[in-house]
Every structure is written in C-alpha cells, then in structure tokens.
Amino acid sequence: MDSLADLVTSGFIKVLTTDLTKIEVAKHHANRDLEEIAGLGRDRFRKLVQQTVGVALPNISPEELRKKIFDGYVATTESMFKTLAATTLSVDDVKPSTVFES
C-alpha cells in the first residue's frame, strides 16, 4: 500500500475506482470477519461463553453485528482510497465498453 501511495504522490499513476467497488471491497472483508465471529449474534453462543469461561458477552443481534462490522470496513475502505487520492466514479457513469477497451 505504501509503494502504491508513493507512486500516486510522485504522479506516476492515478487511481480510479467506482462507488460500487468500494462497497464490494467493504462487504467482502466484513463477510469474512462475520464468518469468524457470527456466534456473537446468537444467545446460545453467548450463554456457552459465559458458562465456560465466565465472560459475559454483550447482547447484540446478528443484524447489529453485521452493521457494525460493515460500517467499520466502509470507513477503512474510504480512508484507503483517500490515501491513494483516488477518483471515485459512479458505476452508472462507467461504460463497460470503455473498461474492456483499456
């Protein structure tokens, strides 16, 4: 990432992305993390943790858990593209033929 940012800063490259790409990147990482900690959204899992190791986990619904993780990755993804001085295009404005020609 640092090398890419250096190339942008030096003016050798320009980073372009779409709004949809940023959302898909965030969604991909959020789904991967959610697979790892999905149990937090289930009462049975939280009760087992409490009984086994004596740690009370917060009561959070699967929807709240997904939103917290996703929102975190949206912020991280935005920050990454900001670091790269990326130009964000609306996916509706990008013609597929233009992408495939380049």
Give pLDDT tens digits for 31-89: 999 999 999 999 999 999 999 999 999 999 999 999 999 999 999 999 999 999 999 99
Residue 22: how many CB atoms within 10 A of its CB? 19
Query: Cβ distance 1 to 81 under 8 Å?
Result: no
pLDDT band at 4; cut points 50, 70, 90: confident
H or E segment to which residue 63 belongs: helix 62-83
Nearest CA-CA partner of 90 in 31, 23, 30, 28: 23
Per-residue model confidence (pLDDT) at position 59: 94
Per-residue model confidence (pLDDT) at position 62: 92
Please give the sequence-ordered ranges of beta strands (E in DSSP) within the chain, or none if there are none.
16-18, 87-89
Residue 15 is part of which domain span? 2-101
Q: How many folded domains does the chain comprise?
A: 1
Per-residue model confidence (pLDDT) at position 102: 61
